[in-house]
Amino acid sequence: MIKTVLFALAVILIGFVSAVIGFIVVVNIGLIFAPELVLFGKEGYEATGPIGFILGALIGLIASYTLFFGKRPGK
């Protein structure tokens, strides 16, 4: 029971950390490659921030969930 709770907290923490990393990376990419993008009333790199945050969170949550709760052979 405690192991499951700790794994769930680890999944949430990894998801948040990867969301922040995704935000930073995609804002920098948006600064260079998408200066004319308009999204949510923002323009340029400010518009790519939410995209990076969401994508980073999804990638981190899915990857860490698979790592901690995925079926392992022999168990």
> Which pLDDT belongs to residue 74?
64
> Which pLDDT belongs to residue 14?
92
SS3 state at 38? strand
Give the separation between CA 34 and CA 43, rounded to whole angstroms: 9
Q: Which residues constitute the domain of residue 57?
A: 2-68
Domain assignment of residue 24, yes or no: yes
> Which pLDDT belongs to residue 34?
82
Query: pTM for the complete prediction?
Result: 0.81
Domain assignment of residue 74, yes or no: no
Neighbour-count burial for 11-41, b at 16+ CB within 10 Å, e otherwise: beebbeebbeebbeebbeebeeebeeeeeee
Domain assignment of residue 75, yes or no: no
Number of domains comprising the chain: 1
Positions in the chain whose pLDDT score sits under 70? 72, 74-75
